[in-house]
Amino acid sequence: MFVENCLILAGYVATTVKQNLSPAKIPTYSFYLEHRSNQTEVNLQRQVWCKIKVVLAGEQFSTQTKHITVGCKVRVKGFIHSHKDYNGLNQLVLHTEQIEFID
């Protein structure tokens, strides 16, 4: 079994934070993060873009999520996991271990 699963992504908060309670009664918070940058691939510059759902699970994120607003810039570190959306399609989700506000 492979154990490496770590993603660090910086970008702008694209949606308001949504709060829910998991079936295990754990508070969860979620929003979409939009990333845009220029990357080098095979010695060529490439514009990259993605939008990914970010999930923050646990009481430890309750204070930080109050400061997350649309347009603010954050760096998120965590692992990715596949969730099924309401249409039954798989969607990659970034589960947060750390979140940092960027000025």
Task: Indicate whether 66 belongs to any domain.
Answer: yes
Task: Indicate whether 24 belongs to any domain.
Answer: yes
Which SS3 state, helix, strand or coil, does residue 61 take?
helix
Q: What's 13's domain CATH number?
A: 2.40.50.140
Q: Which domain holds residue 59?
A: 7-102
Beta strands in 2-89 (DSSP E): 7-13, 18-21, 27-41, 44-57, 73-84
What pLDDT does residue 85 have?
85
Per-residue pLDDT tens digits for 77-93: 999 999 998 899 999 99
Task: Indicate whether 27 belongs to any domain.
Answer: yes
Task: Indicate whether 2 belongs to any domain.
Answer: no
Task: Indicate whether 1 belongs to any domain.
Answer: no
Could you tell me the pTM of the whole model?
0.91
Task: Indicate whether 64 belongs to any domain.
Answer: yes
Q: Is residue 76's pLDDT more than 90?
A: yes
Count: domains in the chain? 1
The residue to which tokens 């510059």 are assigned? 45
Per-residue pLDDT tens digits for 1-59: 788 999 999 999 999 999 999 889 999 999 999 999 999 999 999 999 999 999 999 99
Nearest CA to 9 among 90, 70, 91, 100? Answer: 100
Task: Indicate whether 82 belongs to any domain.
Answer: yes
Residue 39's CB is within 10 A of a number of other CB atoms, namely 9
Which SS3 state, helix, strand or coil, does residue 7 take?
strand
